[in-house]
Amino acid sequence: MDTQTLIYIFVGVSFALYIGIAVWSRAGSTKEFYVAGGGVNPVVNGMATAADWMSAASFISMAGLIAFLGYDGSVYLMGWTGGYVMLALLLAPYLRKFGQFTVPDFIGTRYYSKVARVVAVICLIMISFTYIAGQMRGVGIVFSRFLDVDITMGVIIGMAIVFVYAVLGGMKGITYTQVAQFCVLIFAYMVPAFFISFLITGNPIPQIGLGSQVNDGSGMYVLQKLDMVLQDLGFGAYTEGSKSTIDIFCITMALMVGTAGLPHVIVRFFTVPKASDARKSAGWALVFIALLYTTAPAVGAFARLNFVDTVNNVEYSESAEWFRNWEANSLIVWQDKNGDGVMTYSSGDAFEGKPEFTGETGANGERLVSNTSNADSTNEVYVDRDIMVLANPEIADLPGWVVALVAAGGLAAALSTAAGLLLVISSSISHDLLKSTFAPQISEKGELLAARVAATAAILVAGYLGIYPPGWVAQVVAFAFGLAAASLFPAIFMGIFWKFMNKEGAIAGMISGLVFTFGYIVYFKFVVSPDANVAANWLFGISPEGIGVIGMLINFGVAIIVSKVTTSPPIEIRQLVDSIRVPRGAGDAAAH
């Protein structure tokens, strides 16, 4: 059976499974729609949380960025894993004990203010739409290659699939769908990693293979070989970074703190019966997440080695089939700058901007693009970072069923997180804006209908952002984490741990942190022309991916100052905050 047929079978069967689960577990009440009825087993919830957490950025883009950034790519590993530990230990149990459906629900109740709730909803929607843009972009990339459609059509197909099981099933349907998606995505990620690690090093365990010798008789270790190969091509050493220390620190911190403010992950801890189960499900999720995150560095390193070996100094007419497959979607492009018919891969950008296919072919049969060549670089090959994990099995010439498995896994990763984000957006609109703020008399049936209408509208916006994303998948997701760090995290953190934070301080802090961070990202990503001098204008040398840390500090500072010069929270709110953190039977905390 040929590879394309296997892809159709694997993707079709997995989609049928997801939709079947959504129909079987269709939400019949608002509680089932928002928090799956609140009775999910901690192990099951841990698996669903892992799938929700390991998005297209984790599955598709992270190892690709590590492959090309090397040491600098470690910020994504450190930030996202460290952030999850922070969320699991510092916030999740207390939020679950508080007992609200959503993050805006917590903020609105804790800060006794409808205005605070509305501000939290605005922050949540901006974060979620930024995040979901990356997921839909990932869906489009997978479909464009493996189902032979363009990226736009791929995004539209993904929108239709998410619509069925997110809008019908709500959190109940999403939870059990995500369990299935976790099984698919982790199997799809690990199997090719085992194969490729064995082919390159003779050791099938990728985590160990990364520190092993290459199977080429050179006696060199994987990272030694990678350093040598890349430096010979004019790149910096793989194991050395180019980012400044402060930028590394800020990106890592923004990803960590942003994790603790991500609404679609936090809401998963409301689906278990009690606070102790929230801790258990967080622990299980960390185990499941570690399977992928400890494998990603090896996948990135192996992918870069294989890519160089199969592209550089190879005649285009004899290039591998995988190169032609991805070239058909302009996700990898070669332009014969020197007319020798041989592909040259070296440092520097091959083109000015992302290539756009003209519909014509060159003298050697290559697909011509309209972009101007970068005259400052001898590099002739453009590669989209987001394809590396998906292309890895083809580059390593693995069996067709492995290629098909990776296609199904990539879609599972992107769709699982997209569904979770859409649910957060819809519940914030129907529950927090309508039921809790502007239309408290709405019936449960009307609220459920509003949630589904909001989810439908959110899918349409998400699809547009997936077709026109502002960067690589992992970069787009990093912006979302920065926005979460600058807006929601300080309000949640101080809401739990400082009973004297009042509504005026929380509102002022969220608005100032969000406005600063969003403005900074927009300015440097959309207003300033992308030239080599952009980094010289960054505040303190901090990139847009890391600016959320400064936004967070602004949020904390403004919130504390405003709370000091305004009225303290009511006594019942202070007692409520104490009750969240003190175990039952420990006495009246407010009296101490």
**pLDDT averaged over every residue in the chain:** 80
CB 220 within 8 A of CB 46: no
pLDDT in tens, 315-355: 888 888 888 878 877 778 888 887 788 888 888 887 776 77
Non-local CB neighbours of 62 within 8 Å, separated by 6+ positions: 73, 76, 77, 80, 296, 300, 474
pLDDT at position 175 is: 73
**Euclidean distance between CA atoms 453 and 201, whole angstroms:** 52
pLDDT at position 6 is: 86
Neighbours of 224 (CB within 10 A): 15
Residue spans of beta strands (DSSP E) within 362-417:
367-369, 381-383
Residue 471: Cβ-neighbour burial (10 angstroms; 0-12, 13-18, 19+): middle
pLDDT in tens, 492-540: 899 989 999 999 999 999 999 999 998 998 888 777 765 556 777 888 8
SS3 assignment, position 353:
coil
Q: What is the pTM for the complete model shown?
A: 0.77
pLDDT at position 560 is: 96
Distances from the Cα of 519 to the Cα of 511, 522, 523, 524, angstroms:
12, 5, 6, 9
**Euclidean distance between CA atoms 354 and 91, whole angstroms:** 41
SS3 assignment, position 323:
helix
Neighbours of 7 (CB within 10 A): 23
DSSP state of 541: G
pLDDT at position 511 is: 94
pLDDT at position 263 is: 67
Residue spans of beta strands (DSSP E) within 31-144:
none
**Euclidean distance between CA atoms 335 and 361, whole angstroms:** 10
**Euclidean distance between CA atoms 206 and 190, whole angstroms:** 9
Q: Read off the amino acid at residue 46.
A: G
**Euclidean distance between CA atoms 383 and 152, whole angstroms:** 19
What is the end-to-end Cα distance of the chain in Å, rounded? Answer: 72
Non-local CB neighbours of 340 within 8 Å, separated by 6+ positions: none
Q: Read off the amino acid at residue 309.
A: D
**Euclidean distance between CA atoms 345 and 523, whole angstroms:** 32
**Euclidean distance between CA atoms 486 and 552, whole angstroms:** 4
Non-local CB neighbours of 232 within 8 Å, separated by 6+ positions: none
| Torsion sign, CA atoms 325, 331, 337, 338 | negative
Where the chain has pLDDT below 70, the residues are: 22-39, 55-57, 99-101, 164-174, 262-264, 275, 353, 414, 416-417, 420, 469-477, 529-533, 582-592
Neighbours of 94 (CB within 10 A): 19
**Euclidean distance between CA atoms 279 and 480, whole angstroms:** 25
pLDDT at position 590 is: 41
